[in-house]
Structure 1
């Protein structure tokens, strides 16, 4: 019997770094609190587009673009996914700087389970008893928070829905992760650049001297911080089991929750804790079931 292959340590570390980087992003966007949220999003689009497309063209010329858009439906699907991710970014950055970090973390805790629901409804995937139990328990947590949160958690649900639909569109679009990100960014680049130029010429921007070199540099680096975790995720997902990725994806919202409570002092009373506990139990059931089924599938292959 041949032993099961060892985990790719580099892939594991790259995945962990990507999720940690996503997890600490609230601290970064908080440094940009003086900049209007919408302009942060526009800068994020512009600088990440320059970085991603510049890197792709340096490595492959324009061949990557021709290969991607030659596939059926890719062009318009990526236009939809680009719009969804731009909405997600905008809402997330606004929520962080408006003092709703805990609620944003709730959205990204809900997202994996929403992906399961989308798979059942739109891709006709089937769930086993453990997965239905996980979805049901997490749904109870969301309902509890809805009625006991103090206000309807629309930020969390909108973040989960927009990122869930983004992932669904990217799943059915037959294109690799990095070229797909490049094409999405290209669709958004000119509108974002136009809005930035309009803001600067109408006295609503401050990139050219108004905000200072420190904030300008942070805005530019924000483009790299947008692209690098996505590139790292694309690298890691090809090298380590997807069940491991599934377990590691909860690093980011856990860190966001801790930052919201410990660093920004957001309230986290018993009412919120009860709802989160239900969601965590659902996630634990879902993750353990996925890991167990992955091990069972791997055993005959290793024999």
Structure 2
């Protein structure tokens, strides 16, 4: 019973986390009149403030101090800061430039790109279905290049930056909340400098309406809450379930792009997405088959004892 309750809690936490991530474009659209770097500055400032508060309440500030004294981990986290900071900036810019469709494509591509990164940098081996999955996504992107004469740069950058971010963070074994606190701490000087010296009319909170300031401060919870919920889900669910849930975010972005923001969905775009979706179907099938093989192997090992 306790195990079932833990799984149910994890599933609920995972669904809510990906719902928040998937619906985030609604929030950034509400701030469309504000420059993307300014929104990023607020996101980093209020995420840092909230992360420090949560670490204090959870009694985990000593973990943060220990990380700040570890020069090796700090170097790794500085690199991860550059990756996640640029990812946030491009995502915000894409949403407010009516490119939500391309942003959703980026997060669909990400799991397939992670396969390639695992092989190139971690020495993992391609399985047949993984080869096919990545090949289909590559054909989809090549088709877009052929049709429009350009690559889907936003989608590729979001996928690449987030993929490399995950890869880099593996080199610094830091709890995600502590890591986020350090990353936003690295962003703090630039964010503060931007808000102090920018000539943007909204950079001074004293001159803004209460409604606008509330929206800007909400960038902190919007960043932190899904991260905390995802951690709960990751601890209570198996990887294949979390893998299924991760498609919820880009799917919601796709729905918003088409039904709320009325972005055009041409036949070329449809074919690109269809090839990526087919690749993801093969990727998911491979993950399920691999999980079944491992379970069968464990059962055989236990029966032979």
Range of TM-score over shorter length: over 0.9
2:202 maps to which residue?
205
Runs of 5+ in structure 2 lacking a partner?
A: none
Q: Is contact 1:19–1:229 with CA below 8 Å preserved after alignment? A: yes
Shift of the 174–206 alpha-carbon distance from structure 1 to 2, 3 Å rule, reads closer
2:38 maps to which residue?
39
1:123 maps to which residue?
122
Shift of the 258–203 alpha-carbon distance from structure 1 to 2, 3 Å rule, reads closer
TM-score normalised to structure 2 length: 0.92
Determine helix, strand or coil for the equivalent of 1:116.
helix
2:154 maps to which residue?
155
Q: Is contact 1:95–1:155 with CA below 8 Å preserved after alignment? A: yes
Q: Is contact 2:195–2:204 with CA below 8 Å preserved after alignment? A: no
1:11 maps to which residue?
10
2:25 maps to which residue?
26
Q: Is contact 2:133–2:280 with CA below 8 Å preserved after alignment? A: yes
2:249 maps to which residue?
252
How far has the Cα of 1:129 moved from its partner?
Answer: 0.7
For residues 255-284 of structure 1, give each alpha carbon's deviation from its aligned partner in whole angstroms, at most 9, with x where no partner exists: 101111111110101111011100000001
Q: What aligned pairs does 1:157-236 form with structure 2 within 5 A after superposition?
A: 157-199=156-198, 202=199, 204-236=201-233
TM-score normalised to structure 1 length: 0.92
CA distance in 1, matches of 2:188, 2:121: 30
How far has the Cα of 1:239 moved from its partner?
Answer: 1.1
Determine helix, strand or coil for the equivalent of 2:33.
coil
1:287 maps to which residue?
284
For residues 187-238 of structure 1, give each alpha carbon's deviation from its aligned partner in whole angstroms, at most 9, with x where no partner exists: 1112211211112xx4543443444211110110111101111121122111
CA distance in 2, matches of 1:252, 1:24: 8
CA distance in 2, matches of 1:151, 1:210: 42
How far has the Cα of 1:71 moved from its partner?
Answer: 5.3
1:56 maps to which residue?
55
Would you say how many aligned residue pairs link Structure 1 and Structure 2? 297
How far has the Cα of 1:61 moved from its partner?
Answer: 5.6
Which stretch has the larger CA shift, 72-81 or 22-31?
72-81
Determine helix, strand or coil for the equivalent of 1:172.
coil
Which stretch has the larger CA shift, 71-80 or 34-43?
71-80
Q: Is contact 2:196–2:204 with CA below 8 Å preserved after alignment? A: no
For residues 135-155 of structure 1, give each alpha carbon's deviation from its aligned partner in whole angstroms, at most 9, with x where no partner exists: 111111111122224643111
How far has the Cα of 1:9 moved from its partner?
Answer: 0.6
How far has the Cα of 1:54 moved from its partner?
Answer: 1.7
CA distance in 1, matches of 2:137, 2:60: 46
For residues 24-69 of structure 1, give each alpha carbon's deviation from its aligned partner in whole angstroms, at most 9, with x where no partner exists: 0111100111211110000000000000012112322631123334
Quote the RMSD (CA, aligned, Å): 1.8
Q: What aligned pairs does 1:53-92 form with structure 2 within 5 A after superposition?
A: 53-60=52-59, 62-69=61-68, 73-92=72-91
**Corresponding position: 1:265 with 2:265:** no
CA distance in 1, matches of 2:13, 2:76: 28
Determine helix, strand or coil for the equivalent of 2:111.
helix
Q: Is contact 1:149–1:272 with CA below 8 Å preserved after alignment? A: no
Runs of 5+ in structure 1 lacking a partner?
A: none
